[in-house]
Chain A
Amino acid sequence: MPDRDAMTAWRLVTASLALAAACGLPECATAAVPASAGESIYLQGVLGSGAPLVGNRTNGGASTQGADAACVNCHQRSGLGSTEGNTLIPPITGDNLFHGHAHSGSMHGNRSPYTPATLARAIREGVDPEGRTLSSLMPRYALDDADMAALVAYLKSLAVHRVPGVTPSELHLATIFTPDADPVKRRGVLDVLEHYVVEQNGSASANRRWQLHIWQLAGPATTWQAQLEHDLQSEPVFAVLSGLGGSNWGPVHEFCEQNAIPCLFPNVEVPIASDGDFYSLYFSRGVLLEAELIGTDLARLARDTQHLAIVQVYRAGDSGEAAAHVLTTRLREHGLSVRDRILAAGGTSGRGVAAALREAGKADALVLWLRPDDIAALGSPPVVRQVYLSGLMGGLEAIPLPASWRGLARLAYPFATPDHRGAQVNYPLGWFSLRKIPLVAAQVQVDTYVACGLMAEVGTHLADTYVRPYLIEQLQGMAEHHLVTGYYPHLTLGYRQQFASKGGYMARLTEEHGTVRVVADGDWIVP
């Protein structure tokens, strides 16, 4: 995937910078990227020798190995354990294992603290300090002494430290704006954030006052990560909340992953989809999801015809470029090819759009990754069977598509359609209205409100355990219970899930009594 390639490039460019800066803070030494042998065992299931970790289950269960046998699967990245149904996975951070006496009724049972020797016995033979057998869910691991020492050292490092950005009375959060972010949307996002912080700090349930830091990036994208490292040094924050990007969020995503900073629900059209990344959570895959939706639809269209000539149009450097790459890949998997018409970067004034379409030649299906200015300047429609548009880029139901194009148009729409939104959107809109927040970009502002709501709610789940990976783990569990989901029909996360809303509609535009409406054309699709 192109976003994957972009990520790799970023990692190469910025690796040395990040390594130098990542441990500027005393506490981040254990959370940062450089892998120890113990970390490899815990997170990847790879032994010091490079061989896969092997876990054997007693009680007739099968053995597991490699990544499937890694401790992180059950005990989580934070080491604080988890609950699944009536199964409790106990915390195994250093302070839990080695200090204090676990009381009866706690998750540890009634046991004395472990020593390195009794812990080694527990891991190898499944026996606790009191001589009792551990649950059959816990595999037995035949680690050699060096691997055991490395693992024990890693578990000790997982102890709950004082975390930057958290004081007894304050919780420091940052919000990030890239220089290419739309200035109107930026104002709208900031309005919501600032009002939410005031509201949150006045609420009786808040156990810490939120302090919001605005990190405004400037200059070329190659310098953003260094700017963010600097911001983090001067204003240590616990997490990054919301924010707004343009077409390139890669450096911010990479900053969050490398510094182990939770980066919660930024407003971006092109999020970074990367298996294995942990700290970045997004509402949806944005235009990349739209490309999958359109690809699925085109593949269906192609089944009824012998040949389908497809042309896609995007502006160089805009979000549509990444979407176009994904669509090309998807169509290729279905044996379809697509021709690209690329408009010059920078212009969103509609210049050259009509001419580009005329020059594109004959097409059966046209895919337009265009902004409202370009869409308004489309001119008269060519002879095509179907026109696909990005709802996200085109302005959703405010899309200024000329009337003569409407009958041909199918809109990728990764949200609930307007007639199915109801209270999920009306509640935040009413909240804005009461506080006289100008509605300049409704969907982005509502997403910002939902992001704040999720942060506030997860704060109550954390109790006083302000540990960064634990914040992500709690969000993975509670997201689907959050009541106000905004434009999304539902939100769910889970272990190794980055995107809370997974699907979308293909929609069409209808006109009734002079009003243009967006209506779903078929079911919710998860491509």
Chain B
Amino acid sequence: MLRLLGVAAPLIGLAAVGAAFSQESSEQSAPPRASHSFMSSAQYTVPDVRLVRDDGKAVALPEEMNDGRPVVLNFIYTTCSTICPLMSQTLAQFDHELGADRGRVHLMSISIDPEEDTVARLHAYAQKFHAGPEWQHYTGTAQASLTAQRAFNVWRGDKMGHSSVTFVRAAPGTPWLRIEGFVTPGELLQQYHHLLEQSGATVATR
């Protein structure tokens, strides 16, 4: 289920609605907006697939995702030279800016080219972005990666078709915030804090 957030939704970045659906060219003039991103709220069923973490451990995706921590998720591959490095840099900067709160979050990056992205390659990629223990990268079989991509509606026919999408969820059972396009680290941080506040309020009124 995908629900577009209404005007009343207290999320920033709504001025960017529609940006993700127009083709972005590096030579097109930039519109006067904070970012090139588009946000929506969505529920996804986390598929029960086995993945392999960048430390070599075989894990179940639902367990990795549902350990209680807020999750920030994206899909990348290590030989992607255009948008993935930017997505990973954004996560790295976001992680850095969390400061002392860093230990509370779980950053997850799932490879969409899992056969090329062996554990060793993923580990090297993670190190390049100074990923701490809160940020894990995942590979696995081609089928497992595909299942995960389909579950989060990011599969676009092949790896070259993928676009920049970032997912944030405050806690298991709460909706995901889906951010399409290039969110900046600052915006991601604002969204993250906002989602946590909302979630806390929801829990308090229960």
Q: How far is the CA of A261 from the CA of B185 in the complex (A)?
A: 42
Does the CB pair A85–B156 fall under 8 Å?
Answer: yes
The contact string, 1 if C-beta is below 8 Å from chain B, for chain A 481-500, is 10000000010101111000
Does the CB pair A90–B82 fall under 8 Å?
Answer: no
Which of B27, B77, B116, B118 touches A135 (beta carbons < 8 Å)? B27
Q: How far is the CA of A523 from the CA of B58 in the complex (A)?
A: 14
Q: State the majority secondary structure of interface residues on B.
A: loop
Does the CB pair B26–A135 fall under 8 Å?
Answer: yes
Does the CB pair B28–A61 fall under 8 Å?
Answer: no
B31 to A, closest residue via Cβ: A133
The contact string, 1 if C-beta is below 8 Å from chain A, for chain B 2-14, is 0000000000000
Does the CB pair B115–A526 fall under 8 Å?
Answer: yes
Does the CB pair A57–B26 fall under 8 Å?
Answer: no
B24 to A, closest residue via Cβ: A87
Q: State the majority secondary structure of interface residues on A.
A: loop
The contact string, 1 if C-beta is below 8 Å from chain A, for chain B 66-106, is 00000000000101111101100110110000000000000
Does the CB pair A61–B184 fall under 8 Å?
Answer: yes
B164 on interface, CB distance cutoff 8 Å: yes
Chain B residues, CB < 8 A from A64:
85, 89
Chain B residues, CB < 8 A from A57:
86
A14 on interface, CB distance cutoff 8 Å: no
- Given A73-B82, A86-B20, A523-B141, does the pair A61, B25 have CB atoms closer than 8 Å? no
Does the CB pair B24–A88 fall under 8 Å?
Answer: yes
Interface size on A, residues (CB 8 A): 47
Does the CB pair B77–A494 fall under 8 Å?
Answer: yes
A375 on interface, CB distance cutoff 8 Å: no
A62 on interface, CB distance cutoff 8 Å: yes
- Given A62-B92, A85-B162, A490-B142, does the pair A107, B25 have CB atoms closer than 8 Å? yes
The contact string, 1 if C-beta is below 8 Å from chain B, for chain A 129-170, is 010111111100000000000000000000000000000000
Q: How far is the CA of A468 from the CA of B113 in the complex (A)?
A: 25
Q: How far is the CA of A134 from the CA of B24 in the complex (A)?
A: 11
Q: How far is the CA of A89 from the CA of B79 in the complex (A)?
A: 16
A36 on interface, CB distance cutoff 8 Å: no
- Given A59-B184, A135-B30, A495-B80, does the pair A477, B23 have CB atoms closer than 8 Å? no
A508 on interface, CB distance cutoff 8 Å: no
Min CB–CB distance A3 → chain B (angstroms): 18
B40 on interface, CB distance cutoff 8 Å: no
Does the CB pair A138–B92 fall under 8 Å?
Answer: no
Does the CB pair B27–A87 fall under 8 Å?
Answer: no
Does the CB pair A480–B159 fall under 8 Å?
Answer: yes
Does the CB pair B29–A502 fall under 8 Å?
Answer: no
Q: How far is the CA of A201 from the CA of B93 in the complex (A)?
A: 55
Does the CB pair B142–A90 fall under 8 Å?
Answer: no
Min CB–CB distance A169 → chain B (angstroms): 32
- Given A137-B182, A492-B159, does the pair A90, B80 have CB atoms closer than 8 Å? no
A82 to B, closest residue via Cβ: B82
Does the CB pair A135–B24 fall under 8 Å?
Answer: yes
B114 to A, closest residue via Cβ: A526
Min CB–CB distance B180 → chain A (angstroms): 9
Does the CB pair A62–B93 fall under 8 Å?
Answer: yes
Q: How far is the CA of A35 from the CA of B83 in the complex (A)?
A: 28
The contact string, 1 if C-beta is below 8 Å from chain A, for chain B 28-49, is 1110000110000000000000
Chain A residues, CB < 8 A from B93:
60-62
Min CB–CB distance B148 → chain A (angstroms): 17
Does the CB pair B25–A85 fall under 8 Å?
Answer: no
B186 on interface, CB distance cutoff 8 Å: yes
The contact string, 1 if C-beta is below 8 Å from chain A, for chain B 177-199, is 00000101111000000000000
Does the CB pair A61–B85 fall under 8 Å?
Answer: no
B163 on interface, CB distance cutoff 8 Å: yes
Chain B residues, CB < 8 A from A134:
26-27, 30
B133 on interface, CB distance cutoff 8 Å: no
A83 on interface, CB distance cutoff 8 Å: yes
Which of B22, B35, B81, B89 touches A62 (beta carbons < 8 Å)? B89
- Given A88-B26, A494-B77, does the pair A136, B182 have CB atoms closer than 8 Å? yes
Q: How far is the CA of A492 from the CA of B157 in the complex (A)?
A: 13
Chain A residues, CB < 8 A from B92:
62
- Given A59-B35, A135-B26, does the pair A87, B163 have CB atoms closer than 8 Å? yes
A83 to B, closest residue via Cβ: B160
- Given A73-B82, A495-B81, does the pair A137, B160 have CB atoms closer than 8 Å? no
Q: How far is the CA of A523 from the CA of B114 in the complex (A)?
A: 15
Min CB–CB distance B129 → chain A (angstroms): 10
The contact string, 1 if C-beta is below 8 Å from chain B, for chain A 68-111, is 10001110000000111111111000000000000000011101
Q: How far is the CA of A335 from the CA of B142 in the complex (A)?
A: 30
- Given A86-B24, A136-B182, does the pair A477, B29 have CB atoms closer than 8 Å? no
Min CB–CB distance B37 → chain A (angstroms): 11
Q: How far is the CA of A477 from the CA of B82 in the complex (A)?
A: 14
Chain A residues, CB < 8 A from B115:
492, 502-503, 526
Min CB–CB distance A135 → chain B (angstroms): 4
Q: Which of B125-142 contact A (CB under 8 A)?
A: 141-142
The contact string, 1 if C-beta is below 8 Å from chain B, for chain A 253-294, is 000000000000000000000000000000000000000000
B22 to A, closest residue via Cβ: A86
Does the CB pair B184–A109 fall under 8 Å?
Answer: no
A524 on interface, CB distance cutoff 8 Å: yes
B96 to A, closest residue via Cβ: A62
Does the CB pair B25–A526 fall under 8 Å?
Answer: no
Min CB–CB distance A81 → chain B (angstroms): 9
Chain B residues, CB < 8 A from A62:
89-90, 92-93, 185
Does the CB pair A133–B159 fall under 8 Å?
Answer: no
Min CB–CB distance A450 → chain B (angstroms): 18
A59 to B, closest residue via Cβ: B184
A229 on interface, CB distance cutoff 8 Å: no
A39 on interface, CB distance cutoff 8 Å: no
Chain A residues, CB < 8 A from B82:
73-74, 82, 84, 87, 89, 137
Q: Considering the complex of A and B, which 5 residue pairs feature the smallest CB-CB distances, nearest first? A: A85-B163, A132-B29, A60-B184, A135-B26, A73-B81
- Pairs across A and B, CB under 8 Å, 12 listed: A64-B85, A74-B82, A84-B83, A85-B164, A86-B21, A107-B25, A137-B24, A137-B26, A137-B182, A494-B159, A526-B114, A526-B118
Residues in A lying within 8 Å of B, measured CB to CB: 57, 59-62, 64, 68, 72-74, 82-90, 107-109, 111, 128, 130, 132-138, 477, 480-481, 490, 492, 494-497, 502-503, 523-524, 526-527
Apart from A494-B79, A502-B116, 5 more pairs, CB < 8 Å? A61-B89, A88-B24, A134-B27, A137-B182, A524-B141
